[in-house]
Amino acid sequence: MLKAVSLVGYALMLASLAGLIWMKRLFSPNPVAIAVQVLSLAFFLWARITFGRRSFHLAANPTAGGLVTTGPYQLVRHPIYTAMCVFVWAGVLAHWSWPAASFGVLIVAAALLRIFCEERLVLARYPEYLEYAKNTARMIPGFF
């Protein structure tokens, strides 16, 4: 069930991105937005490289190979979703409108849906995740 719910979250994230691209609200010539998006893309790539090839799957699926707690995973438990949300919100804020903000909220909600599914599945496979989670924020150090 959790894997199916995570697929819904993935589909909602893709739909939100597509909506922002269609509305021309994702990319901006604003230098601050560009800088934030470049940094979030770098954080995303760092997380992908750290996690390795096993991270490419659509459904929440704990993979073999052990729990990854190095690189950006030392800072937050979900750096890929964090980077995606920051990237999207940089575009939304640079092109503020209520429809764009709606897509921004939807992408965060979908990421949270996937996060909660993944955490339950990872904890079932890797009991040491509980200790890691106690010491590492989900997305925003010191807050969440």
The sign of the dihedral angle between the CA atoms of 116, 81, 16, 98 is positive
Residue 23 to residue 49: CA distance in whole angstroms: 31
Whole-prediction pTM: 0.90
Domain boundaries, the chain: 2-55+64-135
Answer with the residue of higher pLDDT: 57 or 118. Answer: 118
Going from the C-alpha of 43 to that of each of 21, 22, 50, 75, the distances in angstroms are: 21, 25, 10, 11
7-22 tens-digit pLDDT: 888 899 999 999 999 9
On the question of pLDDT at 57 being above 70, the answer is no
Give the chain's mean pLDDT: 89
